[in-house]
Amino acid sequence: METGAIFQKSPWRAIISMSIPSLISILVMMLYNMADMYFVGWTGDLAQVGAVAILSQPEWKGKTAYFAGIDKARFRRKVMPGDVLMLETTIIKVKGPVGVGRAVAIVNGEKTAEAELTFAIG
């Protein structure tokens, strides 16, 4: 096909053939941003609170906490800008350098998210 041949037939064919890859990339980016904003952001904050909780104990002083997994995650409502988010983590089980913490995110006394976070100390 020679240069410019796509424009000689129908301009709509050119528009569609050039716009579909752009639309797909926009959709993928939108889904990624939504997942990051709603799920990864909250669990990351909860994991940081859990790391502070476990590393505040004397036997783990000077160590590093690693996020190892998430289980039983429930997201109950959206947190909006201006909301005061309270994060609570309770260590429920520790066996050697691996443990599990129960994490809860609260806004105005209402649970917005909760999960069990697995961590490893190294």
User: How much is the pTM?
Assistant: 0.55
H-helix or E-strand spanning residue 107: strand 98-107
Whether the predicted pLDDT of 45 surpasses 70: no
7-121: CATH class? alpha beta
Domain regions of the chain by residue span? 7-121
Residue 36 has what pLDDT? Answer: 60
User: Which pLDDT tens digit goes with each residue over 53-95?
Assistant: 777 777 777 888 787 788 888 888 877 778 888 888 888 888 8
